[in-house]
Amino acid sequence: MNRYDTIYDVMVIGAGFAGMAATLFAAERGLKVAQTGATGGIDFSTGFLDLMAVHPVAEGRYWDSPWDAIDAVIAEHPGHPYARLGKDRIRTAMNDFTSFLQSQKLEYMGHEDRNTPILTPAGTVKRTYRIPRTAWKGTEALRDKAPTLIVDFNGLKGFSGRQIVEMQHKEWPRLKAVRVDFPGSFGELYPEHMAWTLSSPDRCKELADSIAEHAKDVEYIGFPAVLGLNDPVRTVTLLEELTGKHVFEIPTLPPSITGPRLRATFDRGLAPKGVCTFSQKMVLEARRDEDGLFSFLIGVPGDARTVRAKNAILASGRFFGKGLRAERTGVVEPVFGIPVTQPEQRADWHHPHFFDKQGHAINMSGIEVNDSQQPLDAAGKVLHDNLYAAGAIQAHHDWMRMKCGAGIAIATAYRAVEVITEKNGE
Amino acid sequence: MADILLLRRTARTSWYRWAMHTLIFIGFTGLLVFHALDDIISYPFISGYESTLDPWQWLRNLFGGMALAGVCLAVARRLGNRQLKAISRPQDWLLLGIVGGIMLSGFLLEATKIISPNVFDRMTESYFLPEEETDVPALQAYWSARNGVIFSPPASTDADLVAKGEELSANNCNYCHSDTASAFLSRALSTAISPAAQTLNTTHADEYFWYLHIVLALLALALMPYGKFLHPVATPANLAARGGSHTATPPLASAAARKLGLEACTRCGECSLHCSVAPAHAAIGNANILPSEKLVSLRKYADDGLSDHDADAFAEGSRICTECLRCTEICPSGINLQELWLSSKESLKQRELDGPNTTIRQCNALQWAEVLSAQGKSRFEQIKGNGLADKAESFWGCVQCTTCTSVCPVVAVSEAPAKDLDLTPQQIMNLLRMGLKDQTLAARMVWSCTTCYKCQEHCPQNIQVADILFELRQIATERLKERKLTACPLPAATSGRFSDTTRDIQGQGSDSEGGKA
Amino acid sequence: MKTLSTTVLIIGGGATGTGLARDLSLRGIRCLLVEKRDINSGASGANHGLLHSGARYVASDSEAAIECREEGEILKRLAPQCIDDTGGLFVAVPGDSEQYIADFESMCARSAIPCSPISTVEARELEPSLSDRIIAAYSVEDAAVDPFMLSLDNLAHAVSLGSEFRCNARVTNLHISNGGIERVTLHDDTTGEDFQVEAELVVNAAGAWAGNIAAMAGARINLLYSSGSLLITQNRLTTRVINRLRKPADSDILVPGGTVSVLGTTSVTIDDPDKSRPTVEEADRIIDDARAMMPILETTRYIRAYAGVRPLVLAGDSSDARNVSRGFSLIDHERDNIGNFVTITGGKLTTYRLMAEKTADLVCAKLGINARCATREVPLPASTMGRWTEPGLTAKTWLGTRDVHDQILCECEMVSRSVIDNIIDTIGSEGPNRGDSMLTAIGLRSRVGKGPCQGGFCGLRVTSHLYDRGCVQSDQGVAELKNFIERRWRGFSPILWGLPAMQADLQEALYCGMMDMELCGQRPDADALGADSMQEISALGGRE
């Protein structure tokens, strides 16, 4: 039977955090899973897993405890996706997700009950819940304001050690930067190519030698996140041995390596679990037969095939992920035509100031779901009893401002799979 | 060895091909070994061998049937696949025809022998001493009833007579003859042709079929050194020579190895079916774009047998090849095609026959933009109308994420993309969006693209990056071809920073002839 | 307080002010030009970039039409580097006035404006994006002009002749005594420094803000502020200027600007020139109206919108902006008993030179200087200052240099690091022209931030480079970046559907989701967001 003839238990639409999480959880529960989706959110990710950090956004208030922040946000926004999940489930979902990554050599760190401050490539500090092990030492350096060297490279644009130092110099006087040539290259550099280069121990040695002089008086060395692709911990450990210092990574601007690392980890880890990935294919059309089976037309117009599944999880994201489409007359959900809760007119979508702390009203738009993560129609009724939605496509949150993107994606995906599994068991 | 005996590489292309090939291979080899070469192999080495005894008779039918079935599958494949049909040459059909003809004539020979009373008579005259008068009619009755000989007039069907014939046959014939039923295909065929038995028997058709069979077999033998007929020998030899390497091997192959590779081609057409630039063949029509056809030209080229016109076509095919390795990876015969292309490109280059790829590198992209834009659209472009590169919709979706450049292996292996490639894939998309198509035509990136399609596959916005790059290369080639440019007409630039623009960088220069783009 | 002295103080660094500085400098009169923000911050930078053939005004104002024709010819001859001589078409669609179409040719003839009828088939061959339903077409001699290059070249020429200019210098008071302006006090918004200027004569060339300046001297000018919004498409849709063949109205004109096209405009009366900004409603209105002329305008990708304020001098009681004269007003404030004060406002980009000439004539007369205007004959030299605003130039330069150690910082428009360095060196990283934001100053003098990403990527990369070069310290660079993004946002937010919505989603994910930039530093100050910051496109021209 080829992959187009199989009838899958679940079709996951989307290959971002929510799509990957849904696929993973479903496959781990023994369901036959198909997944579609193009390069998306996860490829542009810093690798940090945000749970919940800011509420209310208008005040820009950071929370140390994401769990307290979740309580607070639910109290004010009862429609927030977290309100339908329960903290225990969110915790389990996050742990299952990171355990899988750990099993694939992408180890995550973090405190059980609090967010951890960490540097961004702009030199700002953000708080997040789970951090790749390769970036973790950076949180210690930041916490202790330890003597630290940031290394950047001639040819890697958009990453300036000096910028980070300037942004931090008031609080962190013992932070300094150095710019060096990247081993074996000159001219313009791209993170993916750099990561391949640094998979070689010889290149790491060259790199360590080139910064040795500058690193004499520091305890930590921070690099842009280009330290290896498939097994970055090995590269970081090697650099620590070579330099005798603590080494950490700072994410870079897209195209970064932190996102592709996550993506590659899933590509590697999901296939052995029997997942059928229709890579880079988009769902053009969805049909539901009388017996409740979904038929999806996937591919590109003119070259599309049909895939059938008993259940579907819509994890297609927002505008960039193409889960929501902004038209001049309003926002629509293009695959199933699910009604989208949104401001009345386009003039109300965005705040006149981009950085206004209120955020933009359009970001609270999305589709409505019930406690089982099933999308609702305009009358508030379940649209299809075998359709679920996970991740940022749900309404009533602003993941960019509340810093809850990964958390919502992972926990809603977990819940959707849970409901599907329960139903299967009946 | 697995590659050779089990045709493992063939299995990678498709099960259909593997089945077809295995049937022919096993069937033909089997027949070759104990049937065609029975004087050399079977009689000396197998005690009691008789071609009309089982299991040999049965095996002959089995092998022959397999080979014939394989040939039928091969013909169906070539006719069924439009692309393949188009590239099939007379020699491909000739080989299939001859192999099929040998099999078919063999079966016909055997079938006509089965029904022939003449053969029966010849055998009985030579090997049977009748003791009674009814012995011959009894034997006839038995052979007619049991073994399908068709006598004229028909032999008796009396049961007693048949029983007697059976006894006689057991004592006289069975040392050398199994039941013709074990020649299951020939026997079935003989039943099928029985209505015409009279004619066939009186005309001694079996003798004609014997001649046909032998002539075809000799023809095959005579053609053996030529082209495709050598592949049953050359292919295993090539596989053995390459020691199981499935991909391009870096060490330079020797001239002999190259020659062997050329001969190993079975013209199965898989390389052309998998060729990443096959769409260019559809657009341009030059058969040399397809690896299987280019190999034919290469063989002639190697013997210096290409006319000017053919050499141009061969050079164009070579140029369009992106060295994506797909043909080498798929080739069931394990031919190191990649190496053949690289060496032939090098040779073309030395003889200054390689066309634009070298020409285009003689000047920089900006100089070429000047030359090529002065010329305007080529007839090729005018006929084809707006391509991807001319349509704004092609790049509307770009969100400037640079993923295409980031994943590009050509950029990755370039030490200094700005110098080596002029532009990265994403920059080319941006130039096209700005309407600066002419400026991209000679960018090294366009000419170094391997059409591996990583850019296109990773683009979050589904922009056809690789297709566009390929189109640009075609456009530039056509413009050069139209003007018969084989060298850059401008002196190679050694321009310093900003010096090619009309304005003075410091001060407020007054040379304002530049105007606007 | 530091005191500067000059012969003529020009207030306002738009096309008129810079043109006047050049005109006076050519007559040997030294001037100081002060601008509260940066060059072309007002309507000079926020218009179609159209060099009118005059045909648009043949029905309403034949005098203006003739002026446009004459000035267009002069500019094409003397400042070719700023002009893209595209030619233009006037096209009508079903529903447009038959009478107007019928009279058009004779009206053009009356003002001696070249105009020739062409068949609709021919028009569509020339411009395939035109609607197949057009019913009439005329060919005229419109062109596109780059107003930034124009103003920067004018200014550069003036400076080379001995005049001076200061950006970010806001006039705080005009001190009157003895029937004249004795001195002018100013505030430098970048340095916080106050200084004063003593001049023999003060010219108020503040465009839409001319009323505010005059009011400081106790003089009253009755101005109507008409805000007009325009849209920029991601790619150039036509080779020629396309005008709607009807009585001048909204959404009539599509002008190619190098690699893009500019569509507009609207006319909304506002009460404060600082409050002009494009709206969602205007963007929709422009598209809904213009798509009759070119259906692709409905589906094409837009990059941004922007708005400018036309200062219209009220002649009578009329309050409809389109009926008020598009001609300019030159006011000698002798009438308000201020002897050394002149205001020049109104007018069109196409006639900026003429406005400068008339003003300079008046200035000379008042100063008793006998010097002839030279701007009708002397070519405008191309300058370093204005060069990088030309679309596509940076891309071509990059191809020509192929410097291994250089790199592209702005991908959309292919602006390389070396070009940015060149601009930084020209501005001077410490000098007064640096302004309150180096990033914005670079944006004004190059294509940075003008492509589809609207600063989403290039803003971050250029900021990193500014830190690397030491042009910004502490959190100043990120603050400038936020400011830059806010300014782009004014034009970006009205067009956020389809692809730009995806782009904006990605931008916010980067700036806020990834880097928490909304939470660092303080909110950008309201003043910085006041007037629209122009400089949207590069090849531009006359306000209609």
pLDDT digits (tens, 9 = 90+) for B13-43: 677 888 888 888 888 888 887 787 777 777 7
Which of A136-150, B269-283, B362-376 bottoms out in mean pLDDT, i.e. has the lowest? Answer: B269-283
- State CA B502 to chain mean position distance: 55
Condensed to tens digits (0 to 9), the pLDDT of residues A378-400 reads: 999 999 999 999 999 999 999 99
**Inter-chain touch C505–A319, beta carbons under 8 Å:** yes
- The better pLDDT of the pair C119, B181 is held by C119
Chains touching chain A through at least 3 C-beta pairs below 8 angstroms are B, C
What CA–CA distance (Å, rounded) separates B420 from B428?
Answer: 14
Question: Is B430 in the C-facing interface, judged by CB distances under 8 Å?
Answer: yes
- Residues B114-144 as b/e (b if ≥16 CB within 10 A, e otherwise) read bbbbbbbeebbeeebeeeeebbbbbbbbbbb
A156: nearest CA in chain C?
C407
Residue contact B433–C259, C-beta within 8 A: yes
Res C172: pLDDT: 96
A319 touches chain B (CB under 8 A): no
Mean pLDDT of A231-253: 95
**Beta strands C302-313; C180-188: pairing state:** unpaired
389-418 in chain B: CB under 8 A from chain A: 399, 401-403, 405-407, 411-412, 414-418
Contacts of B465 in chain A (CB under 8 A): none
Please write the tens of the pLDDT for every residue from A276-329: 998 888 899 999 998 899 999 998 777 888 999 999 999 999 999 999 999 999
In chain A, which residues have their Cβ closer than 8 Å to the Cβ of B279? Answer: none
Asked if B506 and C384 come within 8 Å (Cβ–Cβ), the reply is: yes
Q: How far is CA B333 from CA B3, B81, B265, in A?
A: 9, 20, 7
Q: Which of residues 442-481 of B touch C (CB under 8 A)?
A: 443, 461
What percent of chain A stands above pLDDT 90? 85
What predicted TM-score, i.e. pTM, was given to this entire model? Answer: 0.78
With an 8 Å Cβ cutoff, is B206 touching chain C? no
Tell me the Ramachandran region of residue C112: left when phi exceeds 0, alpha when psi lies from -120 to 50, beta otherwise: left
The reported pLDDT for the residue numbered B493 is: 57
Predicted pLDDT of residue B513: 33
Mean pLDDT of A217-245: 95
Strands A175-180 and A148-153: parallel
The answer to whether C404 contacts B418, with C-beta atoms less than 8 Å apart, is: yes
The tens digit of pLDDT for each residue in C257-272 reads: 888 999 989 999 999 9
A 10 A CB-CB count for A102 gives: 12
Cα–Cα distance for residue pair C190/A239, rounded to 1 Å: 45
The alpha-carbon gap from B470 to the nearest alpha carbon of chain C, in Å, equals 20
Q: Which of A62, A158, A350 sits opposite C461 (nearest CB)?
A: A158
Residues 6+ apart with CB under 8 A from B163: none
Choice between A110 and B210, residue whose per-residue pLDDT is larger: A110
Q: How far apart are CA A261 and CA A55, in angstroms?
A: 30
Residues of A in contact with B407 (CB under 8 A): 192, 255
Give the lowest-confidence range in A21-35, B239-253, C24-38, C491-505: B239-253
Average pLDDT, integer, range B151-173: 82
In terms of pLDDT, which residue wins out, C131 or C404? Answer: C131
What are the tens digits of pLDDT across the range A204-224? 999 999 999 999 999 999 999
Output the pLDDT for position C145: 96
Lowest mean pLDDT among A174-183, A274-283, C395-404, C496-505: C395-404
In order of A136, C437, C480, the CA distances from C474 in angstroms are 25, 14, 11
- A40 and chain B in contact, CB less than 8 A: yes
Distance from CA of A142 to the nearest CA of B (A): 29
* Cβ atoms of residues C362 and C339 within 8 Å: no
Tokens at C180, concatenated:
């004249």
- Strands A325-327 and A303-314 turn out to be unpaired
Percent of chain C with pLDDT over 70: 93
Q: Is C2 helix (H, G, I), strand (E, B) or coil?
A: strand
The chain B residue lying nearest A42, using CA atoms, is: B460
What integer pLDDT is reported at residue B161 of this predicted model? 83
What's the confidence (pLDDT) of residue A118?
A: 97
Residues of B in contact with A187 (CB under 8 A): 414-419
The sign of the CA dihedral C462, C468, C472, C476 is positive
Q: What gap in Å lies between CA A295 and CA A285, rounded to an integer?
A: 8
**C103 pLDDT above the threshold of 90:** yes
DSSP-assigned beta bridge partners for residue A375: A369
Distance from CA of B406 to the nearest CA of C (A): 13
**Mean predicted confidence (pLDDT) in B260-269:** 77
pLDDT digits (tens, 9 = 90+) for B384-396: 888 899 888 888 8
Contact across the interface for A187 and B405, Cβ inside 8 Å = no
Structure tokens at B382: 């005018």
Half-sphere exposure of A39 (CA within 13 A, CB side): 23
Q: What is the pLDDT of residue A116?
A: 97
pLDDT beyond 70 at B6: no
* Confidence (pLDDT) at B245: 56
Distance CA A224, CA A204 (A): 14
- Quote the distance between the C-alpha of residue B118 and its chain's center: 46
Average pLDDT, chain B: 79
Give the range among A231-245, A299-313, A351-365, C363-377 with minimum mean pLDDT.
A299-313
Report CA-CA distances (Å) from C470 to A163, C426, C466, C542: 9, 16, 6, 38
Subunit contact C506:A44, Cβ cutoff 8 A: yes
Average pLDDT over chain C reads 89
Task: Answer for the pair C292, C203: CB distance below 8 angstroms, yes or no.
Answer: no
- For B31-91, the DSSP string reads HIIIIITIIIIIHHHSTT--TTSTTHHHHHHHHHHHHHHHHHHHHHHHHH-HHHHHH--HH
The first and second tokens of residue B80, run together, are 């069924």
Average pLDDT over residues C463-476: 93
Per-residue pLDDT band at C518 (split at 50, 70, 90): very high
The number of residues making up chain A comes to: 426
pLDDT for C169: 92
- Tally A–C CB contacts below 8 A: 159
**For residues B180 and B172, what is the distance between their CA atoms, to the nearest angstrom?**
16
Residue B253 predicted with pLDDT over 50: yes
pLDDT, residue A383, reads 95
- Picking from A139-143, B194-198, B417-421, B504-508, which range would have the lowest pLDDT averaged per residue? B504-508
**pLDDT of residue B252 exceeding 80:** no
CB A184 within 8 A of CB A206: yes
If you average pLDDT over residues B190-214, what whole number do you get?
Answer: 84
Q: Smallest Cβ distance to B418: which of C146, C403, C422? A: C403
Do the chains contact at B418 and A188, CB–CB below 8 Å?
Answer: yes
Instruction: Pick C311 or B45 by higher pLDDT.
Output: C311
Q: Which chains border B (3 or more CB–CB pairs < 8 Å)?
A: A, C
| Banded model confidence at residue B250, pLDDT cuts 50, 70, 90 | very low
Q: How confident is the model at residue B128 (pLDDT cuts 50, 70, 90)?
A: confident
Contact C390 B516 (CB under 8 A): yes
**Residue C124: which of C109, C110, C135, C113 has the closest Cα?**
C135
Contact B415 A192 (CB under 8 A): no
Contact call for residues C503 and C453 (beta carbons, < 8 A): yes
The SS3 assignment for C389 reads coil
Task: Name residue, tokens 């060729």.
Answer: B275
Interface with B, mutate which of C157, C399, C461 (most B CBs under 10 A): C399
C34 and C534 in contact (C-beta within 8 Å)? no
Query: Which pLDDT score is estimated for A108?
Result: 96
Q: How many residues does chain B have?
A: 517
Please report, as a single letter, which amino acid is at residue A37.
G
Instruction: Give the pLDDT mean for C219-235.
Output: 92
* 3-state class (DSSP) for residue B108: helix
Pairwise CB contact (< 8 Å): B406 & A320: no
The phi and psi torsions of A375 (rounded to 5 degrees) equal -60, 145
Chain C residue with Cα closest to A127 = C516
**Per-residue pLDDT tens digits for C323-378:** 455 578 899 999 999 999 999 998 899 999 999 999 999 999 999 999 999 999 99
The contacts of residue B59 (CB under 8 Å, 6+ apart) are B30, B34
Interface size between B and C, measured as CB pairs under 8 A: 169
For residue C345, which of C20, C5, C1 has the smallest C-alpha distance?
C20
What is the distance between the alpha carbons of residues C453 and C446, in angstroms, rounded to a whole number?
15
Q: Which residue out of C505, C510, C527, C533 would a mutagenesis test of the A interface target, given it has the greatest number of A Cβ atoms within 10 Å?
A: C505
Q: Compute the average pLDDT of residues B478-503.
A: 64
Interchain pair C406, B418: CB under 8 A: yes
- pLDDT, residue B119, reads 83
